[in-house]
Amino acid sequence: MAKSLEVEHPKKAFGWAAKDTSGHLSPLQFSRRATGEKDVTFKILYCGICHSDLHMAKNEWGMSTYPLVPGHEIVGVVTEVGSKVQKFKVGDKVGVGCMVGACHSCDSCANELENYCLDMILTYGVKYFDGTITQGGYSNIMVADEHYVVRIPDNLPLDSGAPLLCAGITVYSPLRYYGLDKPGMHVGVVGLGGLGHVAVKFAKAMGVKVTVISTSLNKKKEALEHLGADSFLVSKDQDEMQAAQGTLDGIIDTVSAMHPLMPLIGLLKSQGKLVMVGAPEKPLELPVFPLLTGRKLVGGSCIGSMKETQEMIDFAAKHNITADIEVIPIDYVNTAMERLMKADVRYRFVIDIANTLKSSS
């Protein structure tokens, strides 16, 4: 599908990029396209670090193109808009999440579900309509079609709001779509990391009773006292798990490591739903018999549409939901990646782009 893009005056940009499969990031100068008629250009202020940035930097998914500037939890302030842009103006606070394009002609796109378009264009590391490779938010400026730009409400902090553009929408969308958002329901959240901690916050704001399920007992105090969960289960404790059998309407499973599904399915009431949002590298074993006897569902969910993402950001602003973050300078990014591999962060790193990314670096 032909797109009208002005490529004759690219913008000079700079950021930090992986240059090979070592995943080590270092400074890079590159080009952004000129502001097209439907494009929004903004100065990046903050960018969150997502686990997928680590996978992509090392080409662990086999789809990376180098040099690769990661980052898809991007927030900043608009500096320029194209002649046909209707939703944004210079000075607006905006964000860009995991995608920057789609075909806009398939069934998914027609139903405002661009995130399920087979030709969805990721925010970094893939080919854009004009043949260039998209580059992410570990950089000074961003140019995106206005359809893929989210308005950030004034009362939502930009630094701790940034991770919601990936982690937030990843858990908000399934809570809504699978109907696990009704006050009085009882929902489990498996894993208390970048995704899990915001899942607890969104579910509680929806009026849902929340049980955190974790392998680690040392997260119990954090879950109950800091995040406001109602109860906590240690998944390795068979007595605890047995006592909670058949008590949950649904479960949001955020874990990307290999783990057994049978104990989780057992926690569901009949007609309960286990929704996977983590992505283990190898197939998990799925026991079918308990699905049959309880008419239970195992489903999945991948980020969310642009409509859902704006709805999620507005909901977060209304209910004061933000990610728990550690703000870092750009030159700490490689250390942050090493810590992320060891899950040594509570719960999301956010790069202070505006104050620490310098063109001379």
pLDDT for 280 equals 87
CA distance 264 to 272: 11
What is the pLDDT, as a whole number, of residue 358? 87
Looking at residue 279, its pLDDT comes to: 87
What's the chain look like in SS3? CCCCCCCCCCEEEEEEEECCCCCCEEEEEEEECCCCCCEEEEEEEEEECCHHHHHHHCCCCCCCCCCECCCCCEEEEEEEECCCCCCCCCCCEEEECCEEECCCCCHHHHCCCHHHCCCCEECCCCECCCCCECCCCCECEEEEEHHHCEECCCCCCHHHHHHHHCHHHHHHHHHHHCCCCCCCCEEEEECCCHHHHHHHHHHHHCCCEEEEEECCHHHHHHHHHHCCCCEEEECCCHHHHHHCCCCEEEEEECCCCCCCCHHHHHHEEEEEEEEECCCCCCCCCCCCHHHHHHCCEEEECCCCCHHHHHHHHHHHHHCCCCCCEEEECHHHHHHHHHHHHCCCCCCEEEEEHHHHCCCCC
- List C-alpha distances in Å: 38 to 2, 121, 185: 14, 17, 42
Give residue 240's pLDDT. Answer: 96
Q: How confident is the model at residue 4 (pLDDT cuts 50, 70, 90)?
A: very low
Number of residues in the chain? 361
pLDDT in tens, 37-65: 999 999 999 999 999 999 999 999 899 99
pLDDT at 6 over 70: no
Mean pLDDT of 102-128: 97
At residue 299, the pLDDT reads 98
pLDDT of residue 215: 94
Q: Please, are residues 310 and 318 in contact by the beta-carbon 8 Å criterion? A: no
At residue 361 the predicted structure's pLDDT band, cuts being 50, 70 and 90, is very low
The pLDDT tens digits of the residues spanning 158-217 come to 999 999 999 999 999 999 999 999 999 999 999 999 999 999 999 999 999 999 999 999
Instruction: Check: CB of residue 50 under 8 Å from CB of residue 57.
Output: no
Q: What CA–CA distance (Å, rounded) separates 297 from 79?
A: 46
Give the model confidence (pLDDT) of 305-343 as tens digits: 999 999 999 999 999 999 999 999 999 999 999 999 998
Q: What is the pLDDT of residue 1?
A: 47
pLDDT band at residue 9, thresholds of 50, 70 and 90? confident
Strands 231-234 and 93-96: unpaired
Query: Of 47-51, 101-105, 343-347, which range is least confident?
Result: 343-347
Query: Of the given ranges (3-17, 27-41, 88-102, 140-154), which has the lowest mean pLDDT?
Result: 3-17
Q: Residue 8: its pLDDT value, please?
A: 53
**Mean pLDDT, rounded, for 226-251:** 97
152 close to 313: Cβ distance less than 8 angstroms = yes
Tell me the pLDDT of the chain averaged across its residues: 95
